[in-house]
């Protein structure tokens, strides 16, 4: 499923640690009934959840350049990450340089003929670095599991060029050339993998919100094989006058294998729960509370109703009991899709700040730990319209909500 979070009624559901972090930046869940704007209402609409852009993908995607051996490999287009706020760092892989000195065959006089000196080229394959990357689990609203992604990666091709010791045919000495063919290891590539955000969907009219699962993903192990160009030798030889050509040898050259381990992101799930008036989601290192905006505020207002105090006080107590020491408490405001976008955005921000202020002044949560953010209508918990395109007041009611979350 790909709709955003919903809910009400007091239960618990499992959240992964990464989704817990996501809650601190992307709010989510339930709400009540009644329109939200003063302005003339355009047709309601539903906004689909955004999918993630793989963080660290800039380390392996972009333009291309010729690798040793002539293949095109990805070129980094941004800075290499040193840490991954929304995922795990995939370490860089260093591929060492390979060097072999040239071999100089000196000039010689044989039977009155001069055999010129020859320099057999050496080998220089520069060191390369496969940059560090990040896996990513994108921030998502409560009741959703963020999109997960692992970027692609490549090991460039490498080639050891052919080599030849020239033959000799002079002064009664005849030696055939000796040659070793070039050797090449092809580039190896692992495709990036991703799964989209998945969200729980509140059934129309309330009831049980189903379990959802974001699947395990894995980028496979890759390996570029070891290669070796063999040692070659031209033997010594002498003519009848005992004029001799010394032996010439060119050492073997090898390039070690390079491998990049497999990378995976585990599956994550959210448990089913029953819709009621407000909802608690706990597990995987986080706790989140979704409160219907209609429980907290009058129409188009950001002033907290006196009757909402009991529910907010209960939430403040749970956060005080459960939150990790010094953990940020995120307050996210959401609206339905009726009316002007800018008005909705401002209203969601005002409501988030009002709840944060209440938690600081009445709920006993230190103000420096509180963060308020409004999402307007951008993170719907349910469709704002029915299948036939007509208005859905029940769906819009679920979208008007405030989500309070923290890590445990």
- pLDDT tens digit at each of 408 positions of the chain: 333 333 333 333 333 333 333 333 333 333 333 444 333 333 333 333 333 333 333 333 333 333 333 333 344 456 899 999 999 999 999 999 999 999 999 999 988 889 999 999 999 999 999 999 999 999 887 678 999 999 999 999 999 999 999 999 998 899 999 999 999 999 999 999 999 999 887 666 555 668 889 999 999 999 999 999 999 999 999 999 899 999 999 999 999 999 999 999 999 988 665 554 556 777 667 888 888 888 888 888 999 988 888 888 888 888 888 888 889 999 999 998 888 999 989 999 999 999 999 999 999 999 999 999 999 988 887 788 888 888 888 778 888 889 999 988
Q: Return the sign of the alpha-carbon dihedral for residues 65, 71, 76, 82.
A: negative
| Domain C-terminal end among 260, 284, 307 | 260
For the chain, the domain total comes to: 2
Q: Tell whether 254 and 319 lie within a shared domain.
A: no
Tell me whether residue 200 is in a domain.
Answer: no
8 A C-beta contact, residue 395 and residue 18 = no
| Domain C-terminal end among 260, 282, 309 | 260
Supply the CATH number for residue 344's domain: 3.30.1330.60
Q: Tell whether 176 and 308 lie within a shared domain.
A: no
HSE-up (13 A, CA, CB side) for residue 299: 9
Tell me whether residue 178 is in a domain.
Answer: yes
CB count in 10 Å sphere of residue 273: 23
Structural domain for 249, as ranges: 57-134+153-190+222-260
Q: How far apart are CA 7 and CA 89, in angstroms?
A: 34
> Is the pTM here over 0.75, yes or no?
no
């Amino acid at each position: 499923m790909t709709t955003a979070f919903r809910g009400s009624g007091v239960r618990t559901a499992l959240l992964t640690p990464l989704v817990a972090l996501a809650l601190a930046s992307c709010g989510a869940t339930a709400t009540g009934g009644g329109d939200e704007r003063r302005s003339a209402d355009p047709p309601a609409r539903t906004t689909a959840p955004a999918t993630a852009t793989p963080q660290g993908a800039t380390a392996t995607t972009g333009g291309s350049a010729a690798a040793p051996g002539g293949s095109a490999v990805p070129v980094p287009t941004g800075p290499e990450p040193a840490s991954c706020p929304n995922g795990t760092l995939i370490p860089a892989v260093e591929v060492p340089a390979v060097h072999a000195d040239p071999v100089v065959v000196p000039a010689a006089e044989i039977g009155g003929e001069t055999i010129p000196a020859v320099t057999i080229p050496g080998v220089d394959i520069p060191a390369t670095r496969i940059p560090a990357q990040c896996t990513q689990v994108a921030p998502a609203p409560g009741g959703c599991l963020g999109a997960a992604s692992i970027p692609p990666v490549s090991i460039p091709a490498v080639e050891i060029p052919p080599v030849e010791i020239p033959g000799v045919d002079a002064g009664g000495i005849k030696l055939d050339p000796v040659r070793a063919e070039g050797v090449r290891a092809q580039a190896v590539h692992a495709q990036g993998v991703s799964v989209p955000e998945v969200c729980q969907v509140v059934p129309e009219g309330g009831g049980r919100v189903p379990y959802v699962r974001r699947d395990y993903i894995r980028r496979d192990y890759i390996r570029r094989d070891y290669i070796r160009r063999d040692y070659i030798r031209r033997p010594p030889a002498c003519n009848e006058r005992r004029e001799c050509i010394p032996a010439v040898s060119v050492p073997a050259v090898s390039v070690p294998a390079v491998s990049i381990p497999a990378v995976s992101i585990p599956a994550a799930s959210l448990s089913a729960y029953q819709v009621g008036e407000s909802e608690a989601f706990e597990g995987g290192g986080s706790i989140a509370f979704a409160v219907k905006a209609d429980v907290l505020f009058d129409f188009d207002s950001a002033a907290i109703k006196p009757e909402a105090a009991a529910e907010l006080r209960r939430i403040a107590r749970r956060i005080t009991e459960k939150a990790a020491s010094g953990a940020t408490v995120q307050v996210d405001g959401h609206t339905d899709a009726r009316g002007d976008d800018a008005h909705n955005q401002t209203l969601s921000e005002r409501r988030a700040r009002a709840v944060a202020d209440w938690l600081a002044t009445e709920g006993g949560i230190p103000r420096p730990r509180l963060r308020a953010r409004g999402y307007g209508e951008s993170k719907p918990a349910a469709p704002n319209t029915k299948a036939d395109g007509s208005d859905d007041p029940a769906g819009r009611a679920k979208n008007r909500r405030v989500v309070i979350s923290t890590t445990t």
